[in-house]
């Protein structure tokens, strides 16, 4: 039986970690795997997806012995580095409907809305302090080309009787965000922001309190499939009846999954706290805000007045080799600084103290996929969150639990299970070269459109080739 070789992450040095991780001094608290051990379920990856899967399964099958193997520490991946924007899948209901049909799309969107309420409960009950602020999500346009980006989703929501979004005018946006750069948009009310690393660490603590075993600093190097697969790390071997691969973008190293996954980087900056300036311009609450550029801008302010400003860079690595540049770029977040100062000229003299990056696990349909490897019915995977995971991974946990426990239910039957309906991406070197050309066109299109200028037909054609 052929061995599956993993390609573990390059761990970020402390100074390159996200503002979120550094501000709570997040690190490993559990020992690496040593020697040989066994369990019923081994989970590779201690991010939101792995931890929610562990928790959902423990809830339904308390007797199951679950071990999580995490390469660095829980939350060191995308889960501790993201923009902290919490919103449901209703914004993607049109693409969900196209992939999984009406009923399934509605069920999945509602499930993410329930996840947001569940996060609210975890926060309110003191189970996980994640600084959750359900002050809404503003999905806006800052140029004519972006106007109406939300129309397909909002009209479908209305047709389904789900009045999830409210229209925003220029003065609403200015009053909420303190910036007049975006001038039209929609608001999802039951949405908002979190401190993402606090959520990841909180899920780790919750998992430990439920008897889930976690070994951090335990990158899985190889998996030998079989009735009881063996997972080898530098210090030990774990055997299990079932395996869940919840290793996000790093799953692109697995040949069977690689054709369906491409990895792009997103970059974020964090400023020194500037509460007085933010109070003066009227940006006071915990809403999440984004515009509708193809390389979307996403931002929030923390309760202390730190401004977090993120942007998809479209940066791609050859053969999905996720190197140190996916931890932190070399330009100090120059692009984000420029964009932040365009949206908030008042922040021009506020120092940027942190910049970092993270890999985004993308699929052609922009929706995650769940299932098991073709020849190994006991090795499952969850991947392709496409940069939207905080309210989506709790749902992923339900789907994974049903798959692992062999349940025939709405989760295991949902249209996100299986690669059959998914688009295969071109092989290398075509994939890398194509992505570079498309990225260049998208950046040019964005730069022109933000000035309300229309890009030429070739630029528009090439930019539209992005999956």
Ligand X SMILES: Cc1cc2nc3c(=O)[nH]c(=O)nc-3n(C[C@H](O)[C@H](O)[C@H](O)COP(=O)(O)OP(=O)(O)OC[C@H]3O[C@@H](n4cnc5c(N)ncnc54)[C@H](O)[C@@H]3O)c2cc1C
Query: Binding residues for ligand X, per CB under 6 A?
Result: 6, 8-9, 44-50, 69-72, 76-79, 81-85, 219-220, 246-248, 250, 266, 268, 298, 310, 358-360, 385, 387-390, 393
In the complex, least distance from residue 269 CB atom to ligand X, rounded to whole angstroms: 11
DSSP state of 295: S
| 253/274 with CB nearer ligand X | 253
Backbone angles phi, psi at 429, to 5 degrees: -85, 0
Q: Which is nearer to ligand X, 72 or 339 (CB)?
A: 72
Nearer to ligand X, 364 or 448 (CB): 364
From the CB of 313, what's the least distance to ligand X, in Å? 9
Q: Which is nearer to ligand X, 142 or 327 (CB)?
A: 327
| CA gap 109, 389 in Å, rounded | 13
Task: Give the H/E segment covering residue 56.
Answer: helix 48-60
Q: Which residue number, 49 or 156, has a Cβ lying nearer to ligand X?
A: 49
Query: Reading across the β-sheet that carries 165-168, which strands appear in turn?
Result: 165-168, 184-188, 137-141, 288-290, 297-301, 307-316, 262-271, 352-362
**CB burial readout 341-356, b (16+ within 10 A) else e:** eebbebbeebebebbb
For residue 359, give both structure tokens.
């890999």
What are the start-end ranges of the E strands in 20-64?
35-44
**Residue 168 CB, nearest approach to ligand X (Å):** 19
Residue 103's contacts (CB-CB under 8 Å, 6 or more residues apart) are none
The CA distance from 346 to 362, in Å, is 35
| Cα-based torsion angle of the residue sequence 11, 13, 18, 20 in order, rounded to the nearest 10 degrees | 100
For the CB of residue 73, give the shortest distance to ligand X in the complex, in Å: 8
Phi-psi label, residue 205: left if phi above 0, alpha if psi -120 to 50, beta otherwise:
alpha
Nearer to ligand X, 194 or 462 (CB): 194
CB of 392 to ligand X, least distance (A): 7
CB of 262 to ligand X, least distance (A): 14
Q: Which is nearer to ligand X, 247 or 414 (CB)?
A: 247
Q: How far is the CB of 36 from ligand X (least distance, A)?
A: 17
Query: Closer CB to ligand X, residue 182 or residue 455?
Result: 182
Question: CA 231, 42, 265: angle at the middle one, nearest 5?
Answer: 85
Q: Nearest distance from residue 143's CB to ligand X, in Å?
A: 22
Q: How far apart are CA 10 and CA 7, in angstroms?
A: 9
């Amino acid at each position: 039986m052929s061995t599956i070789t993993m390609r573990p992450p390059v761990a970020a040095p402390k100074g390159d970690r996200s503002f979120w991780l550094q501000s709570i001094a997040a690190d490993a608290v559990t020992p690496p795997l040593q020697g040989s051990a066994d369990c019923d379920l081994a989970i590779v990856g201690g991010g939101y997806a792995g931890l929610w899967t562990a928790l959902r399964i423990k809830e339904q099958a308390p007797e199951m012995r679950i071990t999580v193997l995490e390469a660095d520490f829980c939350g060191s991946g995308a889960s501790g580095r993201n923009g902290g924007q919490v919103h449901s899948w209703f914004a993607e209901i049109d693409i969900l409907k196209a992939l999984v049909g009406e009923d399934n799309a509605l069920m999945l969107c509602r499930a993410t809305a329930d996840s947001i309420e569940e996060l609210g409960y975890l926060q309110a009950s003191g189970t996980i302090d994640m600084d959750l602020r359900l002050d809404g999500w503003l999905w806006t346009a800052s140029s004519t080309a972006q106007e109406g980006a939300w129309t397909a989703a909002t009209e479908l929501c209305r047709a389904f009787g789900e009045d999830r979004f409210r229209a925003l005018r220029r003065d609403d946006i200015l009053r909420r965000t303190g910036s007049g750069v975006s001038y039209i948009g929609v608001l999802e009310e039951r949405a908002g922001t979190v401190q993402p690393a606090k959520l990841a660490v909180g899920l780790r603590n919750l998992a430990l309190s439920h008897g889930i075993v976690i070994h951090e600093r335990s990158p899985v190097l190889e998996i030998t499939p079989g009735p009881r697969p063996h997972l080898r790390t530098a210090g030990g071997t774990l055997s299990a009846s079932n395996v869940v691969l919840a290793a996000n973008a790093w799953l692109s190293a697995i040949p069977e999954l690689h054709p369906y996954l491409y990895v792009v980087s997103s970059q974020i900056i964090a400023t020194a706290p500037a509460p007085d300036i933010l109070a003066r311009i009227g940006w006071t609450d915990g809403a999440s805000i984004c515009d509708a550029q193809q390389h979307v801008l996403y931002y929030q302010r923390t309760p202390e007045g730190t401004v977090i400003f993120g942007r998809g860079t479209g940066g791609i690595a050859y053969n999905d080799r996720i190197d140190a540049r996916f931890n932190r770029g070399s330009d100090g977040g120059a692009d984000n600084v420029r964009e932040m100062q365009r949206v908030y000229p008042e922040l021009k003299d506020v120092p940027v103290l942190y910049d970092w990056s993270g890999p985004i696990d993308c699929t052609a349909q922009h929706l995650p996929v769940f299932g098991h490897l073709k020849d190994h019915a006991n090795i499952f995977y969850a991947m392709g969150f496409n940069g939207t995971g905080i309210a989506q991974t709790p749902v992923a946990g339900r789907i994974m639990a049903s798959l692992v426990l062999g349940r025939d239910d709405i989760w295991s039957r949902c249209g996100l299970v299986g690669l059959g309906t998914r688009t295969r991406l071109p092989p290398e070197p075509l994939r890398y070269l194509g992505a570079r050309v498309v990225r260049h066109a998208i950046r040019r299109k964005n730069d022109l459109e933000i000035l309300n200028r229309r890009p030429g037909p070739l630029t528009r054609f090439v930019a539209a080739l992005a999956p």
